[in-house]
């Protein structure tokens, strides 16, 4: 039976394991696609328009916002970033899930958008603040100053945990990965995601009456 796609939102403070889990989801189901954001910043070397980002100018971006064509948007370091609605709507209609790796503000905007009925939002919590700091240090990507800024931001992000459909404590990556996939598998069977379900029920009713 055909189904509509899900709009899967993953959020977490830096270091909680969100990016690793998103990568695992893509390997688990290669039909899962990341949402391609639009941005007003200049393309960097090697970046491809429509693959890495949709590169637009500020006037084009703001026009899309005013026309309701952005599911969520924000201004970061002087540049605008946002998630165009059109490609996401097409994917959902075609039965393909779209994955969003965004913060709580973007998640809130999407959850209040016209596509809110298809949203599956999941927040990833660390087992402890000490463990969160350890993971940020061990991944070796940031300076001490950047790590401290990420730690300061983490509580604001964690405080919005109750705005999500599901919350997972990532105390063990393998277990969390399994729980995440179980959630997605179940949500794909949500009645609202099955557009042909009513027709099937009517057919069953007709068969019952024809007995």
The pLDDT tens digits for 15-62 are 898 989 999 999 999 999 888 899 999 888 888 998 889 999 999 999
Task: Please report the pLDDT score of residue 1 as a whole number.
Answer: 66
pTM: 0.85
Select the CATH number that applies to the domain covering 7-34+98-209 from these four: 1.20.120.1760, 3.40.50.300, 3.10.20.30, 3.40.50.970: 3.40.50.300
Strand ranges, E, within the chain: 7-11, 33-34, 38-39, 54-55, 70-76, 79-84, 98-101, 119-125, 166-169
Closest CA to 99 of 38, 19, 168: 19
Please give the Cα distance from 80 to 16 (Å, whole number): 26
The three-class DSSP label of residue 38 is strand
Paired strand residues for 33: 98
Listed by start position, the domains of the chain span 7-34+98-209
Instruction: Give the least confident one: 144-148, 171-175, 200-204.
Output: 144-148
Dist CA 147 CA 128 (whole Å): 16
Q: For residue range 119-161, what is the model confidence (pLDDT) as tens digits?
A: 999 999 999 999 999 989 988 878 888 888 889 889 899 999 9
CA–CA gap between residue 159 and residue 183 (Å, rounded): 22
Cβ–Cβ < 8 Å for 111, 121: yes
Angle at 8 between CA 194 and CA 188, to 5 degrees: 25
């Amino acid at each position: 039976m055909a189904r509509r796609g899900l709009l899967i939102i993953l959020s977490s403070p830096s270091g909680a394991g969100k990016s690793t889990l998103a990568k695992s989801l893509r390997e688990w189901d290669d039909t899962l696609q990341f949402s391609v954001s639009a941005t007003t910043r200049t393309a960097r070397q090697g970046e491809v328009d429509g693959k890495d980002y949709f590169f637009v100018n500020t006037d084009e971006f703001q026009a899309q916002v005013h026309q309701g064509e952005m599911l969520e948007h924000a201004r970061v370091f002087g540049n605008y970033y946002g998630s165009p609605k059109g490609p996401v709507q097409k994917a959902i209609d075609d039965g393909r899930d779209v994955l969003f790796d965004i913060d709580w503000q973007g998640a809130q905007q999407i959850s209040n958008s016209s596509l809110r009925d298809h949203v599956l939002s999941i927040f990833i919590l660390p087992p402890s603040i000490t463990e969160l700091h350890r993971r940020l240090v061990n991944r070796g990507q940031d300076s001490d100053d950047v790590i401290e800024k990420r730690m300061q931001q983490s509580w604001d992000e964690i405080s919005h945990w109750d705005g999500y459909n599901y919350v997972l404590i990532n105390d063990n990556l393998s277990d969390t990965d399994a729980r995440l996939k179980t959630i997605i598998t179940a949500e794909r069977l949500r009645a609202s995601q099955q557009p042909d379900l009513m027709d099937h029920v009517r057919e069953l009713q007709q068969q019952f009456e024809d007995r």
